Structure 1
């Protein structure tokens, strides 16, 4: 096993021979491309994001005694039509057994996500979210609580940059990748209808009210651009386009890989690790029946500033109870364990898929069915990256990873 967790002898290097796409049957590729096209029509995260989150923030913080009321954009898709389209995907024609398994799993997940769209902002949504993102087990809650009890808090990061400054930094980061591949489709823009910073498809969306702590700018770029956008570009360049759109349950591994990028570039701060822990605690409180106000008070009791506590609670309570935020810490822990046991990360940069599906993707790579990555995350070229990842995997205490 190679000593560098970011590289291995399998697919993904520039020396790899690219096989003809005809190695998959036409029916295999038709089914995959149809699913990827359909997945691309659904802006799932945007549909889950309140359009007035920033507007009600000041009102709530001035009087944090009443649960805020969030508003959402009209759905871009009709769930009934989307349901029929998912059911009609021609997966029975897929002959490659590995690809068939990957696509079947994603089809089931797409059906669940349609139900989430249909149930958005209703009492039924929370259970669907738990089915999608998994339960928050006591061991993870204990780790999160321990981190909140031991990590320093207060105003740890004095300076922040606004949306325009962060957009300029994002465009410079994108220009780096376009200098390597001028045809790479990566974009960034400021929007009035989002909160914070998020990636949807091939675009980094930045809230006009965004404020990013200055020490966190590079780490956030490696998280959003260097992980989410790079793997989207690499995935869409594969014969299997669903590696760009995302296979089943890819979110947890993607977010874990993105946080690992923050560690690898030396940008994990105490407040960021506290934020990831707070998200787990907030999801646990939500599932336990706590109101928005009760969870907000719980978070401020753990030392989160009022604005940060609001943001964490908003993300968790949006759409009726969005439990996705627990996967950041869980995904990081899973990847650290993977590396600690000799696992490598190279295939994970070829697209968006779960660590659980790594053996299936490895099978495709071993059979020469995957193309090399078009782009490699910039942070992987830094001399200290491999050492930081190895140190993180060997660490007994996540607190030691702060500013590693």
Structure 2
């Protein structure tokens, strides 16, 4: 959906490289930060390696909190901390770029503290500092959705990890037909839970099971949003647009759910899941145990297995509050579009809606390159209408299947 600037014309072909407006010091600082960011697999470090293994035991006897185990950290936090502090940002001359990089440096330092505090009581407060508090209005919206959306097991047919991998590879091949040089991949792993993107790779748990009605929507979420923006961001003069600027997660996840709406794949159970994540985070922050939150979620109508998945994501690493941002990010983007805002620049990389004015400044100064690829769902002539209707809707329930 566009407003003002037309899709695909965020910046002319002869912009950033030929103009050479960024100094060598500017680009060196950005590239150093992007290189450092690429060494940390943050989501993998936060994800238990035994989440699927303990699932059956917990569901058979849901009276004791599960004990999660984690992989060894790839990078020593003390070393990473020193590397973050040593980033050469003092020489950045472009004021907009300096602001973007400084904000991201502060966030990187906070993430190092989260890695250091993983699976300790200190982790939760660091997570709240990173992802923000869950305010009462968001909790009320989530509880209302759980109250009014149909509950229970709503989707029966599913595909396994191998079938979803085949679908993901076909989706990636579509983008390679547009640009053969893009470096994105998909693979099955036995040390992840569910489906997630880390860097340029879609990681699929060997135990993954995806509802058949959700396959395309999940592909548009993971490949059409997270991997597309990674490709476009790395093609920018500012490489951090590929790695992600400060607080990009909320807008990225909101944009990925927008993709699910645009392709007509947002189901009632998926919207309930997003609402349940908010309720679970709120419960955990309030001091509830895993067992208590699991019981709360099943009381809201989630099947026991689904409730375990939601609770596991929230309680991992010591209290990972990231899952509240999906619904919050979606609401912010729908409000943005309803106010006449465009989504176009958001496809150029990973950054927050809060930083959109700064990115617009770079685009207006012809410092950004055009997108190498655009989300496949935008090729659907009905997608723009679905997004327009979603932005106008005064009830989130109306978003189901757009």
Output the TM-score relative to the length of structure 1: 0.98
Residue 19 of structure 1 is matched in structure 2 by 16
- Distance in 1 of aligned mates of 2:31 and 2:304: 45
Per-residue deviation, residues 347-389 of structure 1 (Å, max 9, x unmatched): 0000000000000000000000000000000001110011100
Shift of 1:158: 1.3
Q: How does 1:16-55 map to 2 (within 5 A)?
A: 16-20=13-17, 22-55=20-53
- Distance in 1 of aligned mates of 2:271 and 2:35: 36
Equivalent of 1:5 in 2, 5, 29: 2
Unaligned runs of 5+ in 2: none
Shift of 1:15: 5.3
Matched, 1:385 2:354: no
CA contact under 8 A between 2:124 and 2:319: conserved in structure 1? yes
CA contact under 8 A between 2:11 and 2:367: conserved in structure 1? no
CA contact under 8 A between 2:100 and 2:246: conserved in structure 1? yes
Equivalent of 1:230 in 213, 228, 231: 228
Shift of 1:74: 0.2
Per-residue deviation, residues 160-182 of structure 1 (Å, max 9, x unmatched): 00000000000000000000000
SS at match of 1:20: helix
Shift of 1:18: 3.2
Residue 347 of structure 2 is matched in structure 1 by 349
CA contact under 8 A between 1:222 and 1:261: conserved in structure 2? yes
Unaligned runs of 5+ in 1: none
Equivalent of 1:143 in 128, 141, 144: 141
CA contact under 8 A between 1:7 and 1:345: conserved in structure 2? no
Residue 166 of structure 1 is matched in structure 2 by 164
- Distance in 1 of aligned mates of 2:188 and 2:3: 32
- Distance in 2 of aligned mates of 1:189 and 1:7: 39
Per-residue deviation, residues 2-56 of structure 1 (Å, max 9, x unmatched): xx43772487458543332632000000000000000000000000000000000
Equivalent of 1:371 in 369, 372, 378: 369
Shift of 1:277: 0.1
- Distance in 1 of aligned mates of 2:228 and 2:130: 24
Per-residue deviation, residues 250-288 of structure 1 (Å, max 9, x unmatched): 000000000000000000000000000000000000000
- Distance in 1 of aligned mates of 2:294 and 2:82: 40
SS at match of 1:185: coil
- Distance in 2 of aligned mates of 1:35 and 1:15: 26
CA contact under 8 A between 2:11 and 2:368: conserved in structure 1? no
Matched, 1:400 2:398: yes
- Distance in 1 of aligned mates of 2:156 and 2:40: 38
Root-mean-square deviation over aligned CA pairs: 1.1
Q: How does 1:267-282 map to 2 (within 5 A)?
A: 267-282=265-280
Residue 193 of structure 2 is matched in structure 1 by 195
Q: How many residue pairs end up in the alignment?
A: 401
CA contact under 8 A between 1:10 and 1:365: conserved in structure 2? no
SS at match of 1:92: coil
Residue 331 of structure 2 is matched in structure 1 by 333
Matched, 1:133 2:145: no
